[in-house]
Amino acid sequence: MLSETGSEHEKVPLQIPMEINRRVSMWIKYFTERQHKMTQRYLERGEALRPHIEAILKESEVPAELYYLAMIESGFVTSAKSRAKAVGVWQFMPGTGRNYGLTVNKTVDERRNWIKATESAAAYLRDLNNVFGSWYLALAAYNAGEHRIVRSIMKGKSRDFWSLAEGDFLPQETMDYVPKFLAAQIVGKNYERLGFKVVLGEEDRWDPWETVAVPSGSRLSDLSKTTGVSLELLKRWNRDLLKGVTPYSKNGTVDIYMPKTEVAKFEAAKEQIAKLKQYESDRGQRLYTGRALGDDKAHGFYVVRRGDNLSSISKKTGTSPRTLMKINGLRKGKIHPGQRLKFYPPSNSTEVEKAVTRKGRGVASKKRKALANE
- Segment 194-201 mean pLDDT: 85
Is 74 part of any domain? yes
Same domain, 193 and 216: no
Look at residues 180, 200, 220 and tell me which one is the last residue of a structural domain: 200
- Segment 318-331 mean pLDDT: 81
Q: What is residue 208's predicted lDDT score, i.e. its pLDDT?
A: 86
Same domain, 308 and 175: no
Same domain, 81 and 229: no
**pLDDT of residue 368 exceeding 70:** no
Three-state secondary structure call for residue 300: strand
Three-state secondary structure call for residue 320: coil
The answer to whether the beta carbons of residues 309 and 267 sit under 8 Å apart is no
Is 9 part of any domain? no
Same domain, 268 and 148: no
Its domain, for residue 311, covers 286-373
Other beta carbons within 10 angstroms of residue 364's beta carbon come to 10
Rounded to the nearest integer, the mean pLDDT of the chain is 83
Q: What is residue 2's predicted lDDT score, i.e. its pLDDT?
A: 44
Residue 103: alpha-carbon gap to chain centroid: 9
Query: Using the 8-state DSSP alphabet, how is residue 81 labeled?
Result: B
Is 257 part of any domain? yes
Report the alpha-carbon distance of residue 29 to residue 36 in Å, rounded: 9
CATH number, domain containing residue 363:
3.10.350.10
Report the alpha-carbon distance of residue 324 to residue 316 in Å, rounded: 12
Global pTM reads: 0.71
Collect all residues with Cβ–Cβ distance below 8 Å to 195 and sequence separation of at least 6.
Answer: 32, 36
Look at residues 184, 200, 216 and tell me which one is the last residue of a structural domain: 200
- Segment 200-212 mean pLDDT: 80
Q: Is residue 153 very low, low, confident or very high in pLDDT (cuts 50, 70, 90)?
A: very high
Three-state secondary structure call for residue 92: strand
The answer to whether the beta carbons of residues 257 and 225 sit under 8 Å apart is no
String of DSSP letters for 106-148? SSBBGGG-HHHHHHHHHHHHHHHHHHHS-HHHHHHHHHH-HHH
Other beta carbons within 10 angstroms of residue 87's beta carbon come to 24
Is 349 part of any domain? yes
Query: Using the 8-state DSSP alphabet, how is residue 83 labeled?
Result: T
Look at residues 275, 297, 324 and tell me which one is the last residue of a structural domain: 275
Report the alpha-carbon distance of residue 58 to residue 238 in Å, rounded: 23
The answer to whether the beta carbons of residues 300 and 343 sit under 8 Å apart is yes
Q: What is residue 275's predicted lDDT score, i.e. its pLDDT?
A: 81
Same domain, 343 and 215: no
Q: Is residue 283 very low, low, confident or very high in pLDDT (cuts 50, 70, 90)?
A: very low
Collect all residues with Cβ–Cβ distance below 8 Å to 157 and sequence separation of at least 6.
Answer: none
Q: What is residue 293's predicted lDDT score, i.e. its pLDDT?
A: 32
Q: What is residue 346's predicted lDDT score, i.e. its pLDDT?
A: 57
CATH number, domain containing residue 32:
1.10.530.10
Q: What is residue 338's predicted lDDT score, i.e. its pLDDT?
A: 63
**pLDDT of residue 349 exceeding 60:** no
Collect all residues with Cβ–Cβ distance below 8 Å to 18 and sequence separation of at least 6.
Answer: 4, 182, 185, 186
Same domain, 169 and 36: yes
Is 258 part of any domain? yes
Same domain, 300 and 236: no
Name residue 338's amino acid: G
**pLDDT of residue 163 exceeding 90:** yes
Same domain, 41 and 141: yes
Report the alpha-carbon distance of residue 338 to residue 357 in Å, rounded: 28
Same domain, 52 and 178: yes
**pLDDT of residue 57 exceeding 60:** yes
Same domain, 216 and 194: no
Helices (H) and strands (E) in the chain, counts: 17, 6
Is 58 part of any domain? yes
The answer to whether the beta carbons of residues 135 and 14 sit under 8 Å apart is no
Same domain, 165 and 51: yes
Is 323 part of any domain? yes
Q: Please give the tally of structural domains in the chain.
A: 3
Is 157 part of any domain? yes
Q: In percent, how much of the chain has pLDDT > 90?
A: 60
Same domain, 108 and 84: yes
**pLDDT of residue 11 exceeding 60:** no
**pLDDT of residue 266 exceeding 60:** yes
pLDDT, tens only, 65-107: 999 999 999 999 988 999 989 999 999 999 999 999 999 999 9
pLDDT, tens only, 216-265: 889 999 999 999 999 999 999 999 999 999 988 777 889 999 999 999 99
